[in-house]
A and B are shown apart, each in its own frame.
Chain A
């Protein structure tokens, strides 16, 4: 079991550019979550999916953020256009039955 795989591990981009974060959940897990972590705000739930369907996106900060899950083995979180305040560590997690496994995260820096 390779766990939840996120890519890239680090991303540095210029303000205004589009950023796409990728996540491969653990096979068989029916829930997928996207979180963002900063020192100021801690861990924030952005959106989560159940069986590839978005259930709650109330944590998505604004329309610049979008997430998709085209199939059970892949999800993306896109920021367009990116801003310096989007700098954070973004985590993807998957799970079932209440037990969730987190990926190693993508550290995003927007300059």
Chain B
């Protein structure tokens, strides 16, 4: 399975943008890039996903490198409720493997 690499932790100030990086150098042409987040004592929550083009939704934006070997999740204005573990995963025909994720701390 293709793997992803993320920083263990990141910090942000409230109401500032946050860029969460993810490397996936062994991605295959049919792998989708997904981002999920997990708040304490909850199951993971879908954030966004894409294949090749940048994607936007009400929660975040996903910027995908041209060679698809890396991507960045962008939270435009971090709030205290965005503090969570963020997972970048690759999915192919349904199968996906979660890594350790990035723990995002948001400071007021």
Decide whether A and B are members of one complex.
yes
Binding site for B on A (CB under 8 A): 4, 31, 33, 35, 42-45, 48, 50, 55-56, 91, 93, 95, 98-105
Closest chain B residue, CB of each to CB of A48: B94
With beta carbons under 8 angstroms apart, the residue of A43, A48, A50, A55 that contacts B44 is: A43
- B97 contacts partner chain A, Cβ-Cβ < 8 Å: yes
Residues of A within 8 A of B34 (CB): 98
Q: Using a Cβ cutoff of 8 Å, how many contacts connect chains A and B?
A: 46
Interface size on B (CB < 8 Å)? 20
Binding site for A on B (CB under 8 A): 32, 34, 36, 42-46, 49, 87, 91, 93-101
Let me know if B43 and A99 touch, CB within 8 A. no
Let me know if A45 and B95 touch, CB within 8 A. yes
The distance from the CB of A89 to the nearest CB of chain B, in whole angstroms, is 8
Let me know if B98 and A42 touch, CB within 8 A. yes
Given contacts A98-B34, A99-B49, contact A56 B95 (CB under 8 A): yes
In the bound assembly, the distance between CA atoms of A100 and B100 in angstroms comes to 19
Closest chain A residue, CB of each to CB of B91: A98
